[in-house]
Structure 1
């Protein structure tokens, strides 16, 4: 992301979600606020508005949000009362939150967060009292201290949501982010997505993946951090996460009734749910 500018990727993803709402059920995710926050009326949203993200990646982008919202619902049902969305972008969960006792902390780069708040006002989307905005830069090793002044309880069960973030950070910043989520004196859930490094992907995928990565870099938001599943598992276990499940793109799409093809998994993507008891 360019200094002083909002995230282009955040807008692209909001538009993808908005377009998807015009699809007939069953949908990979439901987001009635996506069109409003994107700034494009639902009746006028078309594929042309979806910016640079290739169409074959859209099902994965959409389904990972449903994985997250299912995990949030399960955590809330068992007593978790804090959700921290890391790199919230234009995510709208906090403004349609169905869990009355769940406080949502949106952590994001100050530029992106200021831009989002303007979009919320322009779209007349109500910000409920359960939402706390936390401007922070994940390249700052002590980013999590920004949670404390807005009422975050480090002794309370918490779920951290980190979608579309890891790949944009440096590896040291990513490992620090993971470490900070594991520092609570309370049960903790962590949901995050990531991709395999190019060298670990099948040869037939590399050319397409590298082309998309080049386009991302041209947008000013290059991908910098990758993991293989064993690498990420080792890092999480070292931090005390003792229940770790990892799902691939085909597994997730199949779970939600979508028939995947190889084109839907350009980067060998994964979503992980890690728990510390």
Structure 2
């Protein structure tokens, strides 16, 4: 059977919304990044069903779109600068960094996600004739399954070597216990000097109501919330945060006054042995 987005879970289907934003940004005359495969995913998925064509973006929707644009470039830069030969993309979705970034020789990238996501992704990339620019391993599995760290090691991952981890757009879909479990597992696999990139936590109870975004926001559970960086600091990591507004200024996409000050990104460096 041909893989389609219809076989994906509601959370997994949010990867298509991310691909649409990346396709849009890639087509701009001054793009922050170019993802040549984002439009391929969009075309293969068909027209979106969550909002009518031409719907004006609300303040929340505009902020989410800007966040996806900025975080894509921010994580691109941080991952390639990390210098780690091991890179793990958690809940990788339709991420194509293994194909579009210039990785140092010897870099190995693992992409973890659910089987329907990886099946759809592989079909589209194969049809596009895409070839990775590093050694790439797609590993099907559920991050809520406590066995995923063992399976990662069995796939060749070495927990004794520094690793760059990316949890992009992920932890907000977990509750606090699930988020703590995931981050504890990452810590157990992280040698000193490893790096973790993720979004700053948000208080989902304060999310503005927008019916056109309900297919996304109703799935949010908040993870560890605004104190995510404090949790990491208390569990063997040293964190640095960059607000969305700061990232916007850095990349020449300034946000309106007062916007993007509480949302943004965490860069954590592992200081303790796993």
Band the TM-score falls in, shorter-chain normalisation: 0.7 to 0.9
Root mean square deviation of aligned Cα: 3.0
Write the distance in 1 (CA, Å) between the matches of 2:259 and 2:95: 22
Equivalent residue for 1:65? 72
* Kept after mapping to 2: 8 A contact 1:194/1:226: no
Counterpart of 1:112 (choices 108, 117, 120) is 117
TM-score of the two chains, using structure 2 as the length reference:
0.81
Write the distance in 2 (CA, Å) between the matches of 1:195 and 1:233: 8
- Write out per-residue CA displacement over residues 71-105 of structure 1, whole angstroms, 9 at most, x where no aligned residue: 112112xxx10000011111110112311221110
* Kept after mapping to 2: 8 A contact 1:85/1:105: yes
TM-score of the two chains, using structure 1 as the length reference:
0.81
* Kept after mapping to 1: 8 A contact 2:172/2:202: no
The runs of 5 or more residues in structure 2 that have no matched partner are 45-51
* Kept after mapping to 2: 8 A contact 1:83/1:102: yes
Equivalent residue for 2:180? 175
The 3-state SS of whatever aligns with 1:54 is helix
Write the distance in 2 (CA, Å) between the matches of 1:271 and 1:195: 9
Equivalent residue for 2:268? 274
- Within 5 Å, which residues of 2 pair with 1:2-21? 4-5=7-8, 7-21=12-26
Equivalences, count: 254
Counterpart of 1:92 (choices 91, 96, 109) is 96
Equivalent residue for 2:255? 260
The 3-state SS of whatever aligns with 1:90 is coil
Write the distance in 2 (CA, Å) between the matches of 1:256 and 1:163: 19
Q: Say if 1:167 and 1:132 are closer, same or farther in 2 by CA, change over 3 A.
A: same
Write the distance in 2 (CA, Å) between the matches of 1:49 and 1:116: 27
Q: Say if 1:262 and 1:8 are closer, same or farther in 2 by CA, change over 3 A.
A: farther
Note if 1:192 corresponds to 2:198: yes
Shift of 1:245: 0.5
- Following superposition, which runs of at least 4 residues in structure 1 exceed 3 angstroms of deviation? 47-50, 214-221, 226-229, 262-265
Shift of 1:34: 2.0
